[in-house]
């Protein structure tokens, strides 16, 4: 049920396009005229034929198979409600197959009010993918573009990082030239990251896991911001390798790097208690503390995070708390139609294990 380092890292790397980035020159940048809107069809909301001067738009690229996109959709809906004068457009692109309109319609219908903005499908013509994503050298989804009132691209990036910039664009406070300079710095960092991850991949494939950890350290030194995304990956390597510094690194992540990130905190706690990882000298009491923080941040609404806390309590010999939390995890999972039955059964089995241990 939980993500191993291989799945987590390469899912992030592939989604970000860091290892598949093409060599074509970037023709669409912040400050460029926004390309046209040409799609195969509209699935939800009022069709937008063209950008109107004086209006602000968000054009976001996603696909039904993209897990991170699914997590971003409710956030986009919240932004659409907050910025009522901004037109939000979700463009399904890179679909498999490209013209699978029925699958997109079903996905959007299933999302319901969680996806409350205009939705279009790029289709096999790939006009949007070619003229927006490829032109901007953006190979990973979800990716959002903000188009300002002058019909210029004002920002390009991950939708979860968009809110503060969007507020400035709407208020007229955003300086496009300053943003373009920031993007140049970001592009340079991305190139450094790409080179480090290529070296990291080579070490993993060669079975040099200690070398892989060293490469991640070099990555964090060159591009410090990446430790927020890849720190949990480094920790799992350390845990699997029996690195004596693993507990101390978990503490640093918890206190400094990912203290407000429920997903990554959950990963750290899970790696500490997971039988398959089998971390040497794992501090189960600290794993409980990390998992409790993740549960608080997720407002006890994520069955996977509740499950981690339950197992941390179990490993820390707090059986009553383990049973109580695991019962909540089962209840939350069973109430969510998107949770696979296999996962639900895994949670039930773990609950039975706890009760049996209680005797």
Distance of CA 137 to the CA centre of its chain: 19
- Surface-to-core class of residue 197, CB atoms within 10 Å of its CB (0-12 exposed, 13-18 middle, 19+ buried): buried
Look up residue 52 and give its DSSP letter: P
Q: Please report which helix (H) or strand (E) contains residue 61, including its range.
A: strand 56-62
Share of the chain above pLDDT 70, in %: 93
Residues 140 and 241 in one domain: no
**189 within some domain:** no
Which of 158, 174, 190 is where one domain is finished?
174
Least confidently predicted of 3-17, 108-122, 330-344: 3-17
Q: Residues, the chain, total?
A: 359
**20 within some domain:** no
- The domain in which residue 71 lies consists of 26-174
Residues 170 and 43 in one domain: yes
What pLDDT score does 25 carry? 59
Give the strand pairing for 143-147 and 153-157: antiparallel
Q: How far apart are CA 348 and CA 342, in angstroms?
A: 10
Q: Based on C-alpha coordinates, what's the Rg of the chain?
A: 22
Structural domains in the chain (count): 2
Residues 153 and 32 in one domain: yes
**267 within some domain:** yes
Please report which confidence band the pLDDT of residue 55 belongs to, taking 50, 70 and 90 as the band edges: very high
Least confidently predicted of 15-24, 169-178, 269-278, 292-301: 15-24
Structure token pair of residue 230: 């890849």
Q: Please report which helix (H) or strand (E) contains residue 121, including its range.
A: strand 118-121
Which of 111, 141, 174 is where one domain is finished?
174
- Which CATH number does the domain housing residue 229 bear? 1.25.40.10
End-to-end Cα, the chain, rounded Å: 26
Q: Is the peptide bond before 142 cis (omega within 30 degrees of 0)?
A: yes
DSSP 127-173: HHIIIIIITTT--SSSEEEEE-TTSBEEEEE-GGG-HHHHHHHHHT-
- pLDDT tens-digit series, residues 206-251: 999 999 999 999 999 999 999 998 999 999 999 999 999 999 999 9
- Which CATH number does the domain housing residue 136 bear? 3.40.30.10
**256 within some domain:** yes
Instruction: Read off the pLDDT of each residue in 172-199 and give the average, rounded to a whole number.
Output: 87
Residue 293 Cα distances to 8, 59, 90, 135, 148, angstroms = 21, 34, 33, 41, 39
**188 within some domain:** no
């Amino acid at each position: 049920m939980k993500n191993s380092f291989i799945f987590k890292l390469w899912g992030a790397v592939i989604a970000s396009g860091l290892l598949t980035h093409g060599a074509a020159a970037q023709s669409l940048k912040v400050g460029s005229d926004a390309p046209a809107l040409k799609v195969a069809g509209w699935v939800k909301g009022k069709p937008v034929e063209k950008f109107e001067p004086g209006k602000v738009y968000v054009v976001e690229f996603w696909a039904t198979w993209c897990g991170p996109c699914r997590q971003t959709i409710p956030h986009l809906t919240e932004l659409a409600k907050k910025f009522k004068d901004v037109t939000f457009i979700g463009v399904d692109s890179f679909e498999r197959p490209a013209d699978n309109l029925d699958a997109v319609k079903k996905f959007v219908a299933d999302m319901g009010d969680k996806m409350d903005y205009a939705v279009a499908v790029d289709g096999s013509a790939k006009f949007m993918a070619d003229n927006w994503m490829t032109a901007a050298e953006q190979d990973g989804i979800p990716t959002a573009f903000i188009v300002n009132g002058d019909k210029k691209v004002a920002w390009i990036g991950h939708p979860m990082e968009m809110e503060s910039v969007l507020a400035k664009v709407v208020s007229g406070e955003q300086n496009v030239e300053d943003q373009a300079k920031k993007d140049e710095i970001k592009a340079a960092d991305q190139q450094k990251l790409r080179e480090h991850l290529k070296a990291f991949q080579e070490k993993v494939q060669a079975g040099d896991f200690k070398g892989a950890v060293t490469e991640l350290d070099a990555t964090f030194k060159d591009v410090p911001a990446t430790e927020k995304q890849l720190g949990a990956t480094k920790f799992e390597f350390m845990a699997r390798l029996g690195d004596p510094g693993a507990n101390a690194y978990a503490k640093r992540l918890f206190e400094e790097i990912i203290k407000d990130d429920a997903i990554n905190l959950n990963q750290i706690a899970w790696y500490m208690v997971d039988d398959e990882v089998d971390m040497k000298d794992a501090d189960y009491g600290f794993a409980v503390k990390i998992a409790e923080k993740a549960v608080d941040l997720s407002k006890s609404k994520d069955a996977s995070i509740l499950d981690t806390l339950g197992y941390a309590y179990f490993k820390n010999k707090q059986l009553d708390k383990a049973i109580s939390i695991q019962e909540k995890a089962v209840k939350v999972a069973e109430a969510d139609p998107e949770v696979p039955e296999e996962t639900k059964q895994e949670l039930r089995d773990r609950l039975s294990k706890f009760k049996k241990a209680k005797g």
